[in-house]
Amino acid sequence: MTQLLKVHGSQNNFFILDQTTLTTPLTQPELVHLAQVLANPKTGLLAGSDGLLVVDRSTHPGVLGKMQVINADGSIASMCGNGLRTVARYLSEKYQLAKFKVETMNADLEVRQAADFAPGVPAFAVEISPVSFDLKTLPLTNIGHQRLLDQYVPEFAPGLKFSALAVPNPHLIAYVKQADLTGPLLGELGKRLNGPNPYFTDGVNINFAQILGKNKLFIRTYERGVGFTNACGTGMSATSLAFALTHPDLGTFDQEITAYNPGGLVKTVLRHQADKYWIELIGNATVTHRIELPEASLHTAQKLSAEITATGEQENYQAFVESLPRLNSLQVFGDPS
Ligand SMILES: N[C@@H](CCC[C@H](N)C(=O)O)C(=O)O
């Protein structure tokens, strides 16, 4: 029998599979197929997920493990901030370490255990980097700019100013009024820029943020490869950085920014050294279920008959979100699993 974990960061839900525990590790096509099956609310376990986080050994010196991110549609992402916190917790418990590095597609990133967010709500802090404003790295083409920071792009939506950056996965950001945060525009733009289009040829994560005050945002994300999620860790990191650069009176470096999202909240801390930016993302790393199933069924992703045990952590998480201020109709207070 093999164990999968169902986890979340701000109710951005994932399964974790540790390839090192298998007699025969899954091939890459098997992993992609498994991710699609597990994520699907009909074929998956526990109402599906936003993706699969694959843990493996790292060959890099001084790095404890490796994370691969597979989106719900089977596409591969270079990073996942909420997911990295949960992988950090998994590796921290496996190796009894509180601070270490995890290999991701483009960088070995620092992670550390943080103070619990609330009773029974463990939290981790993870490094989000490298950051790039060069539109070639997203890629974003055919808009006549090399960088996009708080500029009107009528091709995307008239009347909104956009910023774009890679952290290193691609993000498009707009600061909006509450009507646009909850209205249909984000979904329409998300579908358009993640289908065949001349601008984001590899798709993009789109973040609409409402400015709530000094160092305070509410962020809703339409994710590439997924659709609407309860939260996107890299999205909240990128949106916090763009906030401080475009609204320096309201967003500050080296201080905590609170980023509310439909699934809860995270804290971000923006850092800038020489010409380099990076972000510390701090938030819950919750394990909701432990799932035992035969290794063979993982290879085929068929007949996923599993023994599922709830950990009880979701009740603690729900008590935490219930204590948050009611900000809008997007907030998820029910049980997502
Ligand atoms: N939910 C994630 C981001 C996952 C990857 C994204 N969909 C992409 O394709 O870039 C996060 O918490 O950062």
Predicted pLDDT of residue 337: 47
In a domain? residue 337: no
Domain boundary at 246, 280, 314, which? 280
Report how many domains make up the chain.
Answer: 2
Nearest alpha-carbon partner for 74 in 106, 34, 42, 15: 34
Q: What angle do CA 35, 23, 97 make, to 5 degrees?
A: 75
| Radius of gyration, CA atoms only, the chain | 19
d(CA 334, CA 13): 14
Say if residue 119 is in the same domain as residue 19. Answer: yes
Torsion region of 175: left, alpha or beta (phi above 0 gives left; psi -120 to 50 gives alpha): beta
Contact 257, 241 (CB under 8 A): no
> 142 and 248 share a domain?
yes
Do 167 and 265 fall into the same domain?
A: yes
| Distance from residue 234's CA to the centre of ligand 1 (Å) | 7
Domain boundary (248, 280, 312) is at 280
pLDDT at 320: 97
Q: Which pLDDT does position 162 carry in this prediction?
A: 98
Respond yes or no on whether the N-terminal peptide bond of residue 139 is cis (omega within 30° of 0): yes
Q: Does any ligand 1 atom lie closer than 6 A to the CB of residue 224?
A: yes
CB 241 within 8 Å of CB 129: no
Closest atom of ligand 1 to CA, residue 9: 12
SS3 state at 161: strand
* C-beta 205 within 6 A of ligand 1: yes
In angstroms, what is the span from residue 205 Cα to ligand 1's centroid? 7
Q: How far is residue 112 from each of residues 109, 131, 201, measured CA to CA in Å?
A: 10, 20, 35
The confidence score (pLDDT) of residue 304 equals 84
In a domain, 268, yes or no: yes
304 and 275 co-located in one domain: no
Q: What pTM, to 2 d.p., does this model score?
A: 0.97
Regarding whether 217 and 183 lie in a shared domain, the answer is yes
The SS3 assignment for 325 reads coil
Three-state SS for 314?
Answer: helix
User: How many angstroms is it from 79 CA to the middle of ligand 1?
Assistant: 6
Query: Are the C-beta atoms of 237 and 281 separated by less than 8 Å?
Result: yes
CB of 49 closer than 8 Å to CB of 38: yes
Three-state DSSP class for residue 320: helix
Q: How far apart are CA 109 and CA 117, in angstroms?
A: 22
CA distances from 333 to 262, 274, 324 (A): 9, 42, 10
pLDDT number for residue 333: 83
How far away, in angstroms, is 296 Cα from ligand 1 center? 28
Based on the domain organization, do 97 and 37 belong to the same domain? yes
| Owning domain of residue 118 | 2-127+284-322
Does residue 112 share a domain with residue 89? Answer: yes
Q: Does 180 sit in the ligand 1 pocket, CB within 6 Å? A: no
CATH number at 102 reads 3.10.310.10
233 lines ligand 1 (CB under 6 A): yes
Establish if 270 belongs to a structural domain.
Answer: yes
Same domain, 97 and 163: no
**Ligand 1 atom with the shortest distance to the CA of 78:** 10
The answer to whether residues 186 and 262 belong to one domain is yes
252 and 155 both lie in a single domain: yes
Those residues of the chain that have pLDDT short of 50 are: 336-337
Q: How far apart are the first and last CA of the chain?
A: 23
Q: What ipTM describes this predicted complex?
A: 0.99
199 and 310 in a single domain? The answer is: no
Strand partners of residue 118: 121
Q: Where are the alpha helices (DSSP H) in the chain?
A: 28-39, 81-95, 178-182, 185-193, 233-246, 295-300, 313-322
In a domain, 107, yes or no: yes
Q: How far is 281 from 279, CA to CA, in rounded Å?
A: 6
Question: Which residue among 280, 307, 330 closes a domain?
Answer: 280
83 belongs to a structural domain? yes
**Both 163 and 273 in a single domain?**
yes
Which residues are catalytic, by number? Answer: 80, 232
- Please say whether the beta carbons of 11 and 24 come within 8 A: no
335 within a domain of the structure (yes/no) = no
Residue at 221 is within a domain:
yes
Note the Cα 53 to chain centre separation in Å. 11
288 lines ligand 1 (CB under 6 A): no
7 within a domain of the structure (yes/no): yes
